[in-house]
Amino acid sequence: MIVYLILVALLSSFFFILKKQEKKNTEEMAQILKSFIDKKFLTNISEDFKNDYEAAINNIIKQDLELDNSIQELREYKKELEVTYNSLLTKSKQLEYSNQVLEQRVASLSNINSLSRTVLSIMELDKIISTILDAYFVLTGAKRISLYLWEGGKLINKRIKGEINFRGELSYPEEILAQFTRKDFKKIYNEMLKGFSITPDEKIIASPLTVKGKELGVIFIIEDKSKLIKSDEETISALTIQVAIAINNAQIYSDLVVKERMSQELEVASRIQKRIIPKKIKRVLGLDVATFFEPAKEIGGDYYDYSLLDEKIFSITIADVSGKGVPAAFLMALGRSVLKTLELQGEQPCCNVRKLNKLIYPDITEDMFITMMHSKYNYDTKMLTYSNAGHNPLIVYNNELQQIETHSVKGVAIGFLDDYSYKQGELKINVGDIVVYYTDGITEAENSKKELFGIDRLKNVILETHHLSSREIKQKLLFEINNFQNGCEQNDDITFVIIKREE
């Protein structure tokens, strides 16, 4: 029993000691945990925990430092993300604005493309101008527009849209205008800007109309400064290009229409002219006859005519109207018709030429005239009676003397003087004699050296071929002219008549 009691007492003491030790350990563990939380190093640690404690506290401090570093990195990363976000947000807004601008430009280009197809299909200048000016008001902020075009050295106002009182126009000699540079034209347009009345809130833009260096004109556009944006300027520039192309095409088309109409008229006139040239004859009243007529252009001012007035009188005429083309051909036809009527009266050549001049003088302009050699051959007398109105002299081969002669009388061209008395000459034509009527298209034919065929070459051809027929002389003369020109362009009508007495 005593032993039991002693054992109980020992056990009680042991448990008490253990409990006291446990309490001490618990307090020490609490201090240790608190030092972990506070990250403070304890020195009064029992030897049983000291090594583990030191390792643990060092590890905690190390991890805490690493955690602080990670947090700092996260904060810096957050700042970078914020900067990146703000940058993306700004770029997004810029992109949205660019997209809007791009959409506006695409829409503008689409409209301009549609407009281009429309105006390029129109060939009437007035309609093109109306369509284009309407487009400026729709596609830009234009308030008022004034369009000018160059026509024959003049800058002419073609259209105004809106209230603009200024209609200034300029004029320059075409030879001076042809030397102007883009800088010169720009200076002209800038000077014209001063004539327009605008308010302080407005701005005026001058848009030159040019195509491949060709100056067509200028468009003046007035807009509000507050509404004028870059896209407007781009649209105005694009529209100006389309305007220039469309106007240039319309002008080219108009020129082509005029040229085509003129070509058709010239073709008709050429056919008429060829019909009024008499049909070729080989022999009449013992004369061997050869003729040639070749205008430099579609139609010419030269003409020859002959007719058998009765059984014994053969009329021969050659003439050269100043100038070329339709006016010359018209005057030629008028002169021929009047002379044909006068010949029916049976008067002498000098009287016919005098009356012809009197009749058509009122209808001839100051810059036009007719030179003419008008003659009649009498079969009975073998006499050639002639009158000259400023024309080239007759070239005559005298078979008896075997030499070349020239025969003429003085007289002014038809159309120079209102009433002029023409002289008359006579020439006996013997068998073998040759008479050549010609215009200056022969003598003034040029070669590449600008040398003229001349009267001497013409005389030499006649002298060398006097033994041939009129037709053969004609062929030889044409050969020599062509050989002399050697491919050079014919610059004047070539007309001649050759007569040779055979019996």
The tens place of each residue's pLDDT in the chain, 503 residues long, gives 444 444 444 444 444 444 555 555 676 667 666 666 666 666 666 666 667 666 777 777 777 777 778 888 888 888 888 888 787 777 766 666 555 545 555 455 555 555 556 555 566 777 777 777 777 776 676 788 888 888 888 998 888 888 888 888 888 888 888 888 888 998 888 888 888 888 888 888 888 888 888 888 888 888 888 766 655 666 677 777 777 777 777 777 777 777 777 777 667 666 766 777 787 788 999 999 999 988 877 677 788 999 898 889 999 999 998 866 677 777 888 888 899 899 988 899 999 999 999 998 988 877 789 999 999 999 999 999 999 999 999 999 999 999 999 999 999 999 989 889 999 999 999 999 999 999 998 998 988 888 999 999 999 999 999 999 999 999 999 999 999 988 888 778 889 999 999 97
287 and 430 part of one domain: yes
Amino acid at 485: Q
What is the residue type of 176?
A: I
Residue 103 inside a domain? The answer is: no
What pLDDT, on the 0 to 100 scale, is given for residue 228?
A: 64
What pLDDT is recorded for position 209? 86
- Indicate whether 340 and 219 sit together in one domain: no
250 with 287, same domain: the answer is no
Shared domain check, 162 and 34:
no
Domain-located, residue 453 = yes
Same domain, 234 and 357: no
User: Looking at residue 14, what is its pLDDT?
Assistant: 42
482 and 334 part of one domain: yes
Q: Do 8 and 156 have their domain in common?
A: no
Residue 283 vs residues 249, 280, 366, 382, 503: alpha-carbon distances, Å: 56, 10, 40, 15, 11
Q: Does residue 115 belong to any structural domain of this protein?
A: no
Question: What pLDDT score does 205 carry?
Answer: 84
74, 198: one domain: no
What SS3 class is residue 40? Answer: coil
pLDDT score at 328: 76
Looking at residue 404, what is its pLDDT? 96
Domain presence at residue 264: no
How many domains does one find in the chain?
Answer: 3
Q: Is residue 364 part of a domain?
A: yes
Q: Reduced to 3 states, what is the DSSP secondary structure of residue 420?
A: coil
Show Cβ contacts of residue 8 under 8 Å, excluding neighbours closer than 6 positions: none
Q: Show which of 84, 108, 134 is a domain's final residue.
A: 84
pLDDT of residue 121: 58
Please check whether residues 332 and 447 belong to one and the same domain. Answer: yes
In-domain check, residue 146: yes
Query: Structure tokens of 88?
Result: 């993306």
Tokens of 458: 């013409």
The confidence score (pLDDT) of residue 258 equals: 72
CATH of the domain at 157: 3.30.450.40
212 with 331, same domain: the answer is no
The pLDDT score that the predictor gives to residue 100 is: 52
Considering the domain architecture, whether residues 127 and 249 belong to the same structural domain is answered as: yes
Q: Does residue 114 lie in a domain region?
A: no
pLDDT of residue 163: 85
305: its two tokens: 């005519």
Asked whether residue 288 falls in the same domain as residue 247, the answer is no
Which helix (H) or strand (E) segment is 387 a member of? strand 383-389
pTM: 0.57
User: Could you tell me if 310 and 343 are in contact, meaning their C-beta atoms sit under 8 angstroms apart?
Assistant: no
Residue 231 covered by a domain: yes
Instruction: Determine the pLDDT at residue 365.
Output: 79
Give the domain extent around 175: 122-258
